[in-house]
Amino acid sequence: MATCYKHPDRETGVACSNCERPICTDCMTPTSVGMRCPDCANQKTRVQRGPQGGGGSGFPRRPGGGSRGGSGFGFGRRSGGGSPQRSGTGVNVGLGQWSATTALIALNVVVFFAEMATGVTPGGNDQGSVFIHGSLFGPAISGVNPYFQQIPGTHEVWRLLSAGFLHASLLHIVMNMWFLFFVGRMLEPGVGRGNFLAIYLASLLAGSFGALAFTPVQPTVGASTAIFGVFGALIVVAHDRGIPIWQSGLGPTLLINLVLTLTISNISIGGHLGGLLGGVVCGYGVVYLSEHRRQPALGYAVCAAVAVVSVIGALAVAGGQGLLPNGFHL
């Protein structure tokens, strides 16, 4: 990661659109042609010709602060090698040697193949050993399981995590992985790989807590709990960067997904709401503690706290009847 040419102790993913020197937040001056360094801010624009097919403007990473006043955002794009691509706006959009978003998608796909190998069909049938022993099911997590014949097990705490990598059908995983690809390519370059993974995993556990709090005796699977958390964190980060939530489309997208959560059957309301809330909390921790105060450890601490509280809460409600034991119907 490059460091600011005026403040060598500050890492940054943003470069001056004129001279291409890396600049931190304190050195950024927004202009119509991208971020400028203090030396180039008052100079006339120097036309630069980028490589053909170069990436668009990325979601700027802000280690010690962020760019404000932008009217939009784009996807981070990784070049074939370790060197990051640089767009015409001077935003460094590389993700390094590998993308956590891509790795998570690959992991979910591999697990789904394992599900199909043990009994799950592309159309969905809630069968197979991987599905039965990995899905989120309250009685199998608690100490008492009256449904042992259908879904065996007690004290199987790993279900809080494993359920987030299982899917009920081919359509289920395709929709979730498309949405993860969409939000992951925006958030990961903006907060960094480590913060992104911390937000994802903490949100997944928060979603498991929410699902058990609402419907503990209904088997639940899917990455959507974690994806809702990533989306919640994305909104927090976008707001901090000065990106208009409604004009950018983030607000309407969230609203549509919440409506679908409440109106379509067999969707985990508690899982989506829990994941979203967990992601928002983690997003605030990353933005206002890790970035604003330049203390990355505090950002990770917030994500860890969300994860720990979620696990404790999930264990506490796993043996109950839940807030919506018979589901929710409008």
CATH of the domain at 299: 1.20.1540.10
Domain region containing 92: 1-96
Question: What is the per-residue DSSP string for 59-117?
Answer: ----SS----S----------SSSSPPB-TT-BB---TT--HHHHHHHHHHHHHHHHHH
Per the structure block, which two tokens stand in for 72?
């939009």
Per the structure block, which two tokens stand in for 4?
């600011």
In this structure, is residue 326 part of a structural domain? no
Per-residue model confidence (pLDDT) at position 150: 84
Task: Tell me if residue 3 falls in helix, strand or coil.
Answer: strand
Asked whether the beta carbons of 61 and 190 are under 8 A apart, the reply is yes
Model pTM score: 0.73
Tens digits of residue pLDDT in 174-226:
999 999 999 999 999 889 999 999 999 999 999 999 999 999 999 999 999 99
Domain boundary among 46, 79, 96: 96
**Percent of the residues in the chain that have a pLDDT greater than 70, as a whole number:** 79
Taking phi over 0 as left and psi of -120 to 50 as alpha, with beta for the rest, 149 belongs to alpha
In this structure, is residue 165 part of a structural domain? yes
Per the structure block, which two tokens stand in for 257?
């997904």
Per the structure block, which two tokens stand in for 322?
């839940």
Q: State whether 213 and 261 are in the same domain.
A: yes
Task: Tell me if residue 156 falls in helix, strand or coil.
Answer: coil
Q: How many residues does the chain have?
A: 330
Q: Mean pLDDT over all residues of the chain?
A: 82
For the chain, how many structural domains are there in total?
2
Per the structure block, which two tokens stand in for 253?
């997208």
Per-residue model confidence (pLDDT) at position 324: 75
Residue 88 has pLDDT above 90, yes or no: no
